[in-house]
Structures are given as C-alpha cells and as structure tokens.
A and B are shown apart, each in its own frame.
Chain A
C-alpha cells in the first residue's frame, strides 16, 4: 500500500513538473531571421486535420486586443478551423514570437492517424504551409524540410 502511494506521488509530481498529455507530440522548429525594415513576428498555427474533424494545437498571434481580425490571414487554418468556432483555449494560444528555436509539446488527444499542419504567416513577409501525414502506430519521428518562413521541423511522437 505504501509503495503504491509513493508511486502515485512520484507520478503526480512528474505530471506537475512538465505537461505530459495522454497522447502528445513534440515539435521542434525555428523561425528564421529576416533583415528587413518591415519585420513583424509571424503568426504561427499548428493543427490536426482528419476526415472527421480539425483541431488547433497551437496558435501564436496578436493578443493586444480581445479580437484579432487578422486571423483570417492564416489562410488555411482560418478556413479549416478558425472560422468555425470560439478562439482556442488559452493553453493553445500565445503572443507572436520573433526569430529563434522553439520546442513545443502538443496534446493530440486520441488521434493516431492524422495530417499535422503548420502554417507560418508574416505581415509584409512570406508564408509557409507544411503538411505531414502522421501515423503514431508506425513511426515516432518525422522531419520536415525548411521552408521560407520556418526552419527544419522535427516531430517526435509521445515525448
């Protein structure tokens, strides 16, 4: 009995330390530097698409105001997810971030087979839209080539 309690305590403290979801993916990516006078931190959206439904996993955008009319410019995310509902939960949204390396852990719920979509849009800049078919039962690591607005992306399942 004591052992069981100890185990439960260890598990609880581990859960509190880092967000571990029932099913999660870790996405490593970078936002490149641009030497332009008109640099604005890009909007970033990561979401899942399946035949049944599409779900936001991450949304970095302008949070200065309650309403952000420019969400329409994350064009595919807007068309597939954004326009249909309320804003994603606070845990998913955040302010835009400048160039740098990022590591995010995202909750994919019960999904095992889906398309992971990544869209990066910069005002007065370019846009990248990347898609990776993911099957967590077959592979746990995926790598996507760098594009105009985003560096190489590594996706790890369950870490």
Chain B
C-alpha cells in the first residue's frame, strides 16, 4: 500500500531532478563552440557543421545554447551578419557555417555577463549561492548572511575553421578585456611542434594565469590527460601535444569589479582546437 503513496512522490522527485538538469547551465559549466572540420579544401562554396554546447566533458554536449551569443567572423576578420538557420535542441545547438572563401573563419560564442552571489549562512557556515547581482542580492539575502561575494561572469568560447591557406585577420586581438590570442596558427597545430598562445587584458600581457588543456575522450582513459600550464611574465604560454586529436583549452581572469553590481569581474575563455597528427 505504501508503494502507491511513494510512487508518485518518486516520480515527482525525478521530475524535479530532471527539470533541474534541463535548466540553463549553471555558471560552472564550460561552454564550447566547435566545427566538425577544422581544415578543409573547398573551391566551391560549402558548409561546415558547428556545435554549440555547455559541457561537463570535452566534446560531449550537455546543454544547448541560444543563438544570440554566436558571433561568426569572416576571413577578413569582420563579423558576418548572418550565419544561417540555428537549431537549438535540448543538449546541443548547431548551425552550418557557410564557407565560400579561402582563409580562416572565426567561431565565437559570447555569453552576456551573469551575476552570482556567494554567501555563508547558519551555524555550520553553509555556503549558498544566489543568481543575483550585488544590488539584487542585498534585498534577497537571509538574515545572518556573511562573507558575501558577488562575481560577474563573462564567457568567451572560440574555435577556427580554415579553408585552404590560413589567414590571420580573425586571430587579431581586439584589445578589449581578457583575450587569449593564438600566435601559432590553429591550422598549424601539429603533434610534437610547439603551440604558442598569449593572454592579454585590454591589449596588455597578463601573467601567471593558469591554462588547462584537456583532450577529447577523458571518459575512455585511465586519467583525463589534462595539461596544466602557467602563463609567463610576458603573457606567453607554449605547449607541445604528442597526441593528435581534439582538445579544449580553458583559462580565466579575475579582477576587482569596476561597478557597484559586483565585487569581482571574471572572464572565462574556452577554446576548442585540433592537433593534426603528423
């Protein structure tokens, strides 16, 4: 008899858990944009499939992302006005990049800033979060909330597609905010040759930040094969990858906020690339 009572409750619990999973991804998720082909040879106009997703695991889609964050740069380094039909499913979003010119296209996903407030409460110093900026949080925080910190998160995801000979316009820095610039052209990332990147904030080198690089398929290996390196005093980081395949690189930059809505501004960068086995 009890089972009949419990069953609906269980279902309800599952429904709540499921709806939580389907919700927009929490800030902790990595957001990625990547093409099905990183290098192509096309004389005639063609398309390259592009996936946009927030993910727990390298190259395994978990959450779809809306189209308004997508920014496609043409080979001249200018943003394309249109990028065709956009499909937003449950677990991933996708579109087909129209490639009609020789050179390197830039795929970017920029998430609008979102605010998270972290605080401690209760006798046991329980850490809790609010999806609110500093002004909103002040109205919502429970009595006794302490160690309140609000961060503003901005996310930039990027990847590149090259048709025939590589070009460099899309790789140029904008000199606005935190950026990761690749000094080695992405279509020249090959096994056992150094890959050089540079971190900038408002065009100036950023030192001592951590870069994490993870190869696709950590779920199939004994360990996830993560490479962790530190950016040097000139903002440079050089790494060599012995295995060909797809990789995800992540890094972030935190600084004191310049407005009253947050304590800190955080910019997260996610970069999907291919290392050619040579």
- A-side residues, CB < 8 A to B, are 66-72, 75-76, 78-79, 82-84, 129
Q: Which A-chain residue is minimally distant from B37 (CB atoms)? A: A72
B44 at the interface (CB under 8 A from A): yes
B33 at the interface (CB under 8 A from A): no
A71 with B41: CB separation less than 8 A: yes
Instruction: Name the distance in Å between B48's Cβ and chain A's nearest Cβ.
Output: 11
Q: What CA separation (Å) do A84 and B185 show in the bound complex? A: 14
Question: Which of B165, B190, B277, B278 has a CB less than 8 Å from the CB of A83?
Answer: B165
Instruction: Name the distance in Å between A100's Cβ and chain B's nearest Cβ.
Output: 27
A72 with B39: CB separation less than 8 A: yes
Instruction: Name the distance in Å between B165's Cβ and chain A's nearest Cβ.
Output: 5
B40 at the interface (CB under 8 A from A): yes
Instruction: Name the distance in Å between A81's Cβ and chain B's nearest Cβ.
Output: 11
**Contact partners of A129 in chain B: CB under 8 A:** 278
> Which of B162, B188, B278 has the most CB atoms of chain A within a 10 A radius of its CB?
B278
Instruction: Name the distance in Å between A82's Cβ and chain B's nearest Cβ.
Output: 7
B187 with A79: CB separation less than 8 A: yes
Question: Which of A68, A76, A84 has a CB less than 8 Å from the CB of B278?
Answer: A76
A69 with B278: CB separation less than 8 A: no
Question: Which of B164, B165, B276 has a CB less than 8 Å from the CB of A75?
Answer: B276
B77 at the interface (CB under 8 A from A): no
What is the number of residues of chain B that contact chain A, defined by CB distance less than 8 Å?
17
**Contact partners of A82 in chain B: CB under 8 A:** 41
A79 with B190: CB separation less than 8 A: yes
Give chain B interface residues in 41-92, CB to chain A under 8 Å.
Answer: 41-44, 46
Question: Which of B40, B43, B44, B277 has a CB less than 8 Å from the CB of A72?
Answer: B40
B166 at the interface (CB under 8 A from A): yes
Q: What CA separation (Å) do A65 and B166 show in the bound complex? A: 24
Instruction: Name the distance in Å between A107's Cβ and chain B's nearest Cβ.
Output: 24
Q: Which A-chain residue is minimally distant from B44 (CB atoms)? A: A67
Q: Which B-chain residue is minimally distant from A70 (CB atoms)? A: B41
**Contact partners of B40 in chain A: CB under 8 A:** 69, 72
Q: A-B contact count, CB below 8 Å?
A: 38
B276 with A79: CB separation less than 8 A: yes
Give chain B interface residues in 236-267, CB to chain A under 8 Å.
Answer: none
B187 with A67: CB separation less than 8 A: no
Q: Which B-chain residue is minimally distant from A87 (CB atoms)? A: B43
Q: What CA separation (Å) do A128 and B187 show in the bound complex? A: 21
**Contact partners of B43 in chain A: CB under 8 A:** 66-67
Question: Which of A69, A71, A72, A79 has a CB less than 8 Å from the CB of B188?
Answer: A79
Q: What CA separation (Å) do A156 and B276 show in the bound complex? A: 32
Q: Mark B18-44, 1 if CB is under 8 A from A, else 0.
A: 000000000000000000000111111
Query: 12 new A-B pairs (CB below 8 Å) besides A67-B43, A83-B166?
Result: A66-B43, A67-B42, A67-B44, A69-B41, A72-B39, A72-B40, A72-B41, A75-B276, A75-B277, A75-B278, A83-B41, A83-B187
Q: What CA separation (Å) do A122 and B278 show in the bound complex? A: 15
**Contact partners of A75 in chain B: CB under 8 A:** 190, 276-278
**Contact partners of B41 in chain A: CB under 8 A:** 67-72, 78, 82-83
**6 nearest A-B pairs in the assembled complex, by CB-CB distance:** A83-B164, A83-B165, A72-B41, A67-B43, A84-B165, A71-B41
Q: Which B-chain residue is minimally distant from A82 (CB atoms)? A: B41
Q: What CA separation (Å) do A30 and B170 show in the bound complex? A: 43
Q: What CA separation (Å) do A69 and B39 show in the bound complex? A: 10
Q: What CA separation (Å) do A70 and B41 show in the bound complex? A: 7
> Which of B41, B164, B190 has the most CB atoms of chain A within a 10 A radius of its CB?
B41
> Which of A70, A75, A129 has the most CB atoms of chain B within a 10 A radius of its CB?
A75
Q: What CA separation (Å) do A67 and B43 show in the bound complex? A: 7
Q: What CA separation (Å) do A46 and B41 show in the bound complex? A: 19
Instruction: Name the distance in Å between B250's Cβ and chain A's nearest Cβ.
Output: 26
